Amino acid sequence: MGIRLKDLSKLGYRDNVARSLAVAIVGKHCKHQSKEQIIKTLSDVLENPDTYKENETWSKLAEHLSPTLIEKKFTAYDLLDEPLPYKTYGGKFIETLAKQQMNLAMRLPVSVAGALMPDAHAGYGLPIGGVLATDNAVIPYAVGVDIGCRMSLTVFDAKADYLKRYSHQIKEALKNYTHFGMEGGLTFAQEHEVTEREEFQLTPLLRDLRGKAIRQLGSSGGGNHFVEFGELLLQGENVLGLPEGNYMALLSHSGSRGLGAAIAMHYSRIAREVCKLPREAQHFAWLDLNSEEGQEYWMSMNLAGDYARACHEQIHLNLSKALGLKPMANVNNHHNFAWQEEIAPGRTAIVHRKGATPAQAGQPGLIPGSMATPGYLVAGRGVEESLCSASHGAGRAMSRQKAKESFTRSTMKKFLSQAGVTLIGGSIEEMPLAYKNIDRVMQPQEALVEVQGKFMPRIVRMNKE
């Protein structure tokens, strides 16, 4: 025997969710009861929901009608009176707000060390280009919303003149085998072991996000994310072990898509609930790694990082196959992530790099410029004072809004043409002049990294905004 919405309204069920739950429960569990019995029970559940919370049939409806109040435990913290000392690289070209945000981060009671990279600019919480080491605590907003945002460079068994000879085929491959933007994904199925990982079954959030992760696999976000072919001039005795010369290479920049963003927002909210900080520092709320929430975030963050890597692997695989190119070497690195590292002899900490490249001794990394300026293949020098870090790019010289107000599409088109760069998609916000001079950013970190090669973009694909 079914029940109608009109019947529920007469009983006093005014809430659409409650009425939907009631209809579903009756349809599933009350097929052999009379209408009078059903109405009597529904009336009793409405009047006395707490008595039905343990009832196998009616518990969901009862809980909705009278939610169990769970007292959330939190701890309030004060900031240190003065920031801990930290090293700033290229401070002359870093805006004041970014420095103020770093100073605030260094006043957290869990902070133990920090550094500010020469491409730094203001962000939410930790500035972009900020590196922060904490004591057994992870700060979701110090990792960033785009968890695992990263670079990947593939060097092909092809000389740089391939770019001119097969420019049409390259453009078509970029149009057909990449996808950019907030929604959707590639038009053809992608397969990668990362989507079968058991972590996707370990929390309700990850279970809900798996479908989106499968759909978006092999695609890129908006903003400054890109996939581009260009010339790589490699120096001799480089970290790739390849002969000195001028190669064609593929460089990509993107992160963990909707998966990482949802993880970041979910655990940032939880962190703010359990870690109460003064208003100006609320974005620095952290999760203790000994807590259940801290362990959940750490697991989810690492999964998102592996997913971001998988997206790059698919992008490079799809384009290699489409163009019949043979990869010779690959370099890739995160620059929005947290690692457990030894920051000094016998001293381990959680190192957050939000827009910063890991630069352990001998570690290869990528520091891109803009779409019309060089990027650099580097090897880290392992400088302890920088927390073994380097910049993650040129860094913005002006905000996205300022770029929109300052340039036109025709101005950007002319600028790119003069630089010998073809752009597919893209927006005024990514005008090269909106970024800092990459060589000016590289100079203050000569002690942090050793240049191994120089990459010049030629055919660039970005999201059209």
Determine if residue 394 is labeled as part of a ligand binding site. yes
- Which of 324, 335, 368 is CA-nearest to residue 232? 368
Tokens found for residue 116: 């500010």
Cβ pair 294, 287 in contact under 8 A: yes
Q: Report the alpha-carbon distance of residue 254 to residue 225 in Å, rounded.
A: 5
433 contacts 204 by C-beta, under 8 angstroms: no
Q: Is 412 exposed, middle or buried (0-12, 13-18, 19+ CB in 10 A)?
A: buried
- The answer on whether 368 is annotated among ligand-binding residues is yes
Contact 258, 220 (CB under 8 A): no
User: Most distant CA pair in the chain: distance in Å?
Assistant: 87
Name 230's bridge partners.
Answer: 249, 457
- 274 among annotated binding-site residues: no
Tokens 């579903």 locate to 24
Look up 312 and say whether it is catalytic: no
Helices 35-47, 16-29: crossing angle, 10 deg rounding: 140
Cβ-based neighbour number of residue 251 at 10 Å? 23
Pairing state between β 347-354 and 128-134 = antiparallel
Amino acid at 192: H
Token duo for residue 44: 């009793």
Q: Which of 192, 334, 352, 392 is catalytic?
A: 392
User: What are the C-alpha distances in Å from 9 to residues 14, 48, 155?
Assistant: 6, 17, 67
> Which of 338, 168, 178, 159 has the alpha carbon at shortest distance from 264?
338
Joined tokens for residue 237: 């005795």
The response to whether 392 counts as a known ligand-binding position is yes
Residue 222 annotated in ligand binding: no
CB burial of 385-399 (b: ≥16 within 10 Å; e: otherwise) equals: ebbbbbbbbbbbbbe
Residue 246 annotated as lining a ligand binding site:
no
- The DSSP-derived string for 10-27 is HHT---HHHHHHHHHHHH
181 labelled ligand-binding: no
Gap between the Cα atoms of 71 and 463, Å rounded: 44
Q: Is 395 annotated as a binding residue?
A: yes
- Give residue 221's identity as a one-letter amino acid code: G
Determine whether the annotation assigns residue 179 to a binding site. Answer: no
* 228 in a known ligand binding site: yes
How long a stretch of residues is the chain? 465
Two structure tokens written together for 314: 């698919």
Report the alpha-carbon distance of residue 7 to residue 10 in Å, rounded: 5
Q: Does the CA dihedral 62-64-67-70 come out positive or negative?
A: positive
Q: Was 345 annotated as part of a binding site?
A: no
Q: How far apart are CA 159 and CA 59, in angstroms?
A: 67
Q: What are the binding residues for Mn(2+)?
A: 146, 225, 253, 335
Q: Which residues are catalytic?
A: 392
Residue ranges for the binding site? 146, 224-228, 253, 335-336, 368-371, 392-395
The annotated binding site for GMP is made up of 224-228, 335-336, 368-371, 392-395
